[in-house]
Amino acid sequence: MTVIRNEKKFDRFWTITAGTFCLLALVFTLIALRTSSWTINEYSTGGEVQWHGLFYKCTRLSCAANYDENFSVIFLCIMSILFLLIATIFIFLMGIHSFPRRHFYLTPLFAFIGVLLLFITVVLYARYSKINGISARLMITAIVLGYASFAIVVFVAGRYSIFYKKNPTDFQYTKTETNEIVKPVEEEPTMSNVEN
């Protein structure tokens, strides 16, 4: 009995860690989306330092809107924020509330799609501009945190999955069409249990 409790605490610790990483990736992405220091151009033609972001192109004295060039990057960044938000909520639900085990594959799926969209966002922006500003570094940090969260969530979801036969607690096959008796999940024989 003690081993199961310790495993649940261990899984809960990893779930909270993954949720924190995913939440930090979400916050860093929101900050990077809103700030205007993706590219810093110190050697512009006028001799003045310029900051380029997704929404604005700024100098020391003024900012001008810059929506048209970065529309695809902005759209992908907003989509990745939505997927990371859903993944963060699902990760914390997985650690706190036990939603049905057959749907644990959704959490790593949302985390993967969110981080993949973040990566595509940075690649699309870097295709036509330098990424030497603080906002671009925040996006790269968000990608690293998102992939770390994804790896942890895949591990924890695999342990909670219905396909993991060593963990049959709180799982029963439900038959809706017939009134058959529910059979407990049996462990498959291994080489040490089988004798010739």
The 3-state DSSP class for residue 50 equals strand
As a whole number of angstroms, the longest Cα–Cα distance in the chain is 85
Task: Give the integer Cα–Cα distance in Å for 137 and 86.
Answer: 23
Instruction: Report the DSSP pairing between strands 63-65 and 39-41.
Output: unpaired
Task: Give the integer Cα–Cα distance in Å for 162 and 103.
Answer: 9
Closest CA to 127 of 79, 82, 75, 69: 69
Task: Give the global pTM.
Answer: 0.74
Task: Give the integer Cα–Cα distance in Å for 180 and 136.
Answer: 59
Asked if 119 and 24 touch (Cβ cutoff 8 Å), the reply is no
Measured between alpha carbons, how far is residue 78 from residues 12, 18, 26, 165, 167 in Å?
29, 21, 11, 39, 38
- The rounded mean pLDDT for the chain is 78
pLDDT tens-digit map of 38-86? 888 777 767 777 888 888 888 778 888 877 778 888 899 999 999 999 9
Q: What is the pLDDT of residue 173?
A: 44
Task: Give the integer Cα–Cα distance in Å for 95 and 15.
Answer: 5
pLDDT tens-digit map of 170-188? 544 454 555 556 556 566 6
For the residues of 72-123, what is the DSSP string, one character each?
A: HHHHHHHHHHHHHHHHHHHHHHHHHS---GGGTTHHHHHHHHHHHHHHHHHH
Average of per-residue pLDDT across 143-169 = 78
pLDDT tens-digit map of 80-139? 999 999 999 988 888 776 665 567 788 899 999 999 999 999 999 888 888 888 888 999
